[in-house]
Structure 1
């Protein structure tokens, strides 16, 4: 069994190359993960993905919808099928719907009230970069400042604010505009060998002891 983050380049067991012609011909060049994981997946269950040749892989993608309960959790799958068979609403923006009301009532009664929390519920976007963008806006609104600190070597997403936080040159080049109001600093916990690979220089200890004169505080 292979780990998805350690897959090696290979063809099929019968020696034939993978059939990726459809992807290469009709899909845009804006692809990343598939370039590093040479497999065409067909099925998934729990934490395991299977490819066209029957190979099994442990899924370390940690993707939304699969991380907490695994692929095709039988209880969730049955409830989803039942909902679809009843012609349940699939998309309604932020309009009122009966399923949304049912969810809010359940969450309030089973999660929030028993913990004595005075919280409101916000239905957010489905991606990590949505959360990053919201965090940036909130931090800047509260602190009344624009500059933020971001750790080198981390990936935050592909929307404009998130790209500004990353140090990956290829990701930043795709923005098409100057990426400002971010100060990148080395992560204090990066081992020296990895630090040299990431930043091209040795770790000289704490990189930021005080604010540089004239610089905006994070």
Structure 2
């Protein structure tokens, strides 16, 4: 999600820094939106066939590469050291589209899918709330710091920082994120525990679920009086 916030919020600034101010930014935004719709549709199909970890690591790795490639491209372009065959708007357009493709196929849909599979039912509400808190904080910090980074470090410096942050998150996910595709919530919980539930714990969990089932009421009105 980190990179999605940047590209969606500061598209014009990114286009001007990577390609130039003379480029038709409106046309590029239209093509990016169209590509994102197509990429989202592809992601829906691929997610059903590919393991979550495989898809996450492959798309995020390409995303990091696109960050670093864009940083190198803008740096050498600013220094006037690009080879003639690379000093073309098409290269910048390709870099931005690759970035968008990795966002639409991996970094945006997968966190929501995995969050719906990895949290145990007993703690899903709490864990979901904490996840949304971190997501909102990430969005706020990213949106507010991009102008500062672009102004002081340039887009190449900012993109290197973003690549490092995303890379760190990918390493953490590699060690701590289990595979969730085609697995039950109990299997995933057992992996986090490092052992299966004991018969007593299973009985306690079933009793708690049964109590919630019999004591919860389907309230169709928000008023506590009704």
TM-score, normalized by the shorter chain, greater than 0.5: no
- Higher fraction of helix: 2
Q: Greater relative contact order: 1 or 2 (C-alpha under 8 angstroms, separation 6 or more)?
A: 2
Give the strand-richer structure, 1 or 2: 1
TM-score normalized by structure 1?
0.24
